[in-house]
């Protein structure tokens, strides 16, 4: 079937190239020297920065996304509000990349709309220096696409919560706190955790936004790969790029596996 030929050529073959290439020494033959290249201070820093930005944006996105999803789910299930928020989330969750970087430059760069507005009212968000192009700024930008993604993936779990469970809690004398602590909380916890992991993988895989924001490069794993792929100084280290790529794949695979396990656990109660 043409489908298998195609995915074999353009999905499995590239993956195999990365896999084999990362474990091949410059002169040929099996070796792990490429991975030794990761064990350098700036590479370690790139990984820790990428991981921390992804983690913080995932947790923040998961929290606010869950709150928004709850606000949506308590409304009319077939109402216009819910349908518009769902399709807006569909657009915004995909709204990464160059346009998103421009959106935040237009909003909170030093000449941005919000920055100027706040400055006119006596608030200087950059009193301690411009943070838009550093980890805090990039985290904030990532939250912009994390929240809608959370709404999309967490809403089905919230839909699974039945009003009868709350009524049962109340008829047994439980308060709102009891309901969230002993009924809804434990039921939603695996879904919430799983979705947070998905958000983490999503942020960790992102490239275009940081690339468009930090045109001069930066200390993030995807930008290191970019530098190795497009480097004109030609110390040509395709092996190192492949090792970095493989490390990213491994991290994402681990996270996504945990996500799948938690999803299975979620579906036991909420369907």
Binding residues among 14-33 for other proteins as defined by CB under 8 A:
14-18, 21
Size of residue set near other proteins by CB under 8 A:
73
Nearer to other proteins, 143 or 191 (CB): 143
Answer for which of 23, 58, 138, 147 binds other proteins (CB under 8 A) is 147
Shortest reach from residue 45's CB to other proteins, in Å: 18
**Is residue 104 a contact partner of residue 132, using CB atoms and an 8 Å limit?**
yes
Which range, of 24-32, 51-59, 60-68, 188-196, touches other proteins by CB under 8 A? 60-68
Write down the least CB distance from residue 37 to other proteins, Å: 14
Phi-psi region of 76 (alpha: psi -120 to 50; beta: other; left: phi over 0): beta
Residues 62-121 that bind other proteins (CB under 8 A): 64, 67-68, 70-71, 74-75, 81, 83-84, 86-88, 90-92, 94-99, 102-107, 112-114
Nearest approach, Cβ of 178 to other proteins (angstroms)?
14
Cβ distance 198 to 262 under 8 Å? Answer: no
- Look up residue 62 and give its two tokens: 């998961």
Helices (H), the chain: 2-7, 13-22, 33-36, 41-73, 80-94, 97-108, 113-120, 135-160, 163-171, 176-178, 185-205, 208-213, 221-230, 238-266
Question: Minimum Å distance from CB 122 to other proteins?
Answer: 19
Q: Which of residues 217-246 bind other proteins (CB under 8 A)?
A: 222, 225-226, 229-230, 241-242, 244-246
Return d(Cα 224, Cα 161) in angstroms, integer. 44
- Of residues 265, 58, 75, the one with CA closest to residue 159: 75
Q: Which is nearer to other proteins, 191 or 243 (CB)?
A: 243
Residue located via tokens 């009924």: 183
Please select the residue that binds other proteins; options are 125, 249, 258, 270, rule is CB under 8 A.
249
Asked if 3 touches other proteins (CB under 8 A), the answer is: yes
Question: How many residues are present in the chain?
Answer: 271
- The residues in 152-191 that bind other proteins, with binding defined as CB under 8 A, are 176
């Amino acid at each position: 079937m043409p489908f298998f030929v195609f995915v074999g050529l353009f999905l499995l073959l590239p993956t195999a190239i990365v896999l084999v290439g990362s474990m091949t020494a410059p002169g040929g033959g099996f070796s792990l020297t490429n991975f030794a290249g990761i064990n350098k201070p700036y590479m370690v820093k790139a990984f820790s920065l990428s991981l921390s930005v992804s983690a913080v944006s995932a947790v923040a996105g998961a929290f606010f996304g869950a709150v928004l999803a709850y606000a949506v789910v308590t409304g009319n299930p077939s109402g216009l509000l819910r349908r518009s928020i769902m399709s807006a989330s569909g657009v915004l969750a995909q709204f990464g990349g160059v346009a998103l970087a421009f959106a935040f430059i237009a909003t909170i760069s030093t000449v941005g709309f919000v920055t100027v507005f706040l400055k006119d009212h006596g608030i200087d968000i950059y009193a301690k220096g411009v943070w838009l192009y550093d980890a805090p700024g990039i985290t904030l930008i990532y939250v912009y696409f994390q929240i809608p993604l959370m709404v999309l993936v967490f809403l089905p779990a919230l839909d699974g919560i039945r009003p009868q469970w709350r009524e049962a809690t109340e008829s047994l004398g439980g308060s709102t706190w009891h309901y969230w602590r002993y009924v809804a909380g434990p039921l939603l916890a695996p879904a919430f955790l799983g979705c947070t992991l998905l958000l983490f993988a999503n942020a960790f895989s992102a490239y275009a936004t940081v690339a468009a924001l930090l045109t001069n490069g930066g200390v993030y794993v995807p930008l290191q790969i970019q530098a190795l792929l497009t480097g004109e100084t030609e110390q040509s280290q395709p092996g190192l790029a492949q090792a970095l790529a493989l490390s990213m794949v491994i991290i994402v695979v681990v996270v996504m596996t945990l996500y799948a396990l938690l999803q299975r656990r979620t579906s036991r109660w909420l369907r």
